[in-house]
Amino acid sequence: MLNGIPVGIGGLSRLIRLDLHQNRISSIPSSIIGCHSLAEFYLGNNNISTIPVEIGELSRLGTLDLHSNQLKEYPVEACKLSLLVLNLSNNSLSGLPPEMGKASKFWYMIGLVIFIMET
């Protein structure tokens, strides 16, 4: 089991899919911004409590799976993403930023429907 994501991950600019679910990862390094080609990022079942604002710069990201972590908020910067799939289920989110409503349409949302309907 991994306890963290190496800071050097940003050097993998051609990385397309990263599946690190079911580990003990507690944070995502800001160097993730260097993964320009990243399209699928799976981090479910970890111990992540915050998402770095740099994640909003991953313009090719289409799938972001963060289910079953310790998230309390979703950063405004991440609302810039053109995600097709976003899984935030089984976290401690108290809500989502209003900017989420301006985000492109999702094909598949998990853990978001309730929050969007309440806004």
Quote the pLDDT of residue 97.
Answer: 85
Quote the pLDDT of residue 107.
Answer: 53
State how far the Cα of 42 lies from the Cα of 40, in Å rounded to an integer.
Answer: 7
State how far the Cα of 91 lies from the Cα of 32, in Å rounded to an integer.
Answer: 22
For 18, the token pair is 């990263």
Q: Cα-flanking dihedrals φ and ψ of residue 22, to 5°?
A: 60, 55
State how far the Cα of 47 lies from the Cα of 69, in Å rounded to an integer.
Answer: 5
* Under-50 pLDDT residues of the chain: 112-119
Quote the pLDDT of residue 96.
Answer: 83
Maximum distance among all alpha carbons in the chain? Answer: 40
CATH class of the domain at 7-118: alpha beta
Quote the pLDDT of residue 117.
Answer: 34
- Where are the chain's structural domains? 7-118
Specify the length of the chain in residues: 119
Quote the pLDDT of residue 116.
Answer: 37
**pTM for this one?**
0.86
Quote the pLDDT of residue 103.
Answer: 60
Quote the pLDDT of residue 104.
Answer: 55
Task: Calculate the dihedral angle through the C-alpha atoms of 8, 91, 41, 49, rounding to the nearest 10 degrees.
Answer: -10
SS3 content of the chain, % helix, strand, coil (to 5): 25, 15, 60
* Residue appearing with tokens 């978001």: 112
Quote the pLDDT of residue 109.
Answer: 58
